[in-house]
Amino acid sequence: MSPVRSAAIAVGLVLAVLVGVMATRDSGPDRVSAHLVGQPAPPLVGTTIDGEPWDLDAQRGRWVLVNFFSTTCVPCIVEHSELVAFAEAHAPADDARVVSVAFDDSAEAVEQFFREQGGGWPVLAMHTGYIAVDWGVIAVPESYLVSPSGHVAAKAIGGVKADGLEALLAEARGGA
């Protein structure tokens, strides 16, 4: 057999194996949405726009919705009132909280956004790039529901609705 023919056969076999692996591996939105689910939440520590220190570990014992957003992201702007409704619904029992993490945004723009749009929860807006990387954020909005034990219970990609968050929380509580 000639060397050219042997090389062609080898390349063909490698391509066939590659196609087989790509065709049978998990992919698509379900794979992305499952990232971190069931795992301990990555560290989330920073200073809020109010100048207060904030640490996810200090929230153990309650549910926390970690919301990555940008003030220039239309779905983020649309979902904001839904996050306000969710946070207000859980404030009396203090059983679930929201924390927002700015994604590629200025602290000044974030402060102005919350002043105008409301939302009385902690907001991290400075030096948050490493947080987004640790959490595997690809694009905003992305939200993660963290259980009272500190594990990621669910991930929501795209804008959220308050009733959808309630359903996600109810489902997670059933498995928590």
Residues 3 and 72 in one domain: no
Domains in the chain, number: 2
Phi-psi group of 36: left, alpha or beta (phi > 0 → left; psi -120 to 50 → alpha; rest → beta): left
Percent of the chain at pLDDT exceeding 90: 72
- Token match 């993490």: residue? 101
Amino acid residing at 90 = H
Q: What is the pTM of this model?
A: 0.79
Per-residue pLDDT at 55 exceeds 60: yes
Residues 18 and 68 in one domain: no
Residues 70 and 19 in one domain: no
Angstrom CA distances, 37 to 29, 41, 80, 147, 156, stand at 14, 9, 23, 10, 11
Residues 122 and 64 in one domain: yes
Residues 69 and 87 in one domain: yes
Q: Which residue range(s) make up the domain with 85?
A: 35-175
Percent of the chain at pLDDT exceeding 70: 82
Q: What is the pLDDT of residues 166-175, one digit of tens each?
A: 999 999 998 5
Residues 59 and 2 in one domain: no
Residues 113 and 156 in one domain: yes
Residues 82 and 138 in one domain: yes
Residues 15 and 43 in one domain: no
Q: In what order do the strands lie in the sheet with 142-146?
A: 123-124, 96-102, 63-69, 142-146, 152-157
Q: What is the pLDDT of residues 76-121, one digit of tens each?
A: 999 999 999 999 999 999 999 999 999 989 999 999 999 999 999 9
Residues 83 and 121 in one domain: yes
**132 and 103 Cβ atoms separated by less than 8 Å:** yes
| Residue 169 belongs to domain with CATH number | 3.40.30.10
Residues 120 and 46 in one domain: yes
Residues 81 and 116 in one domain: yes
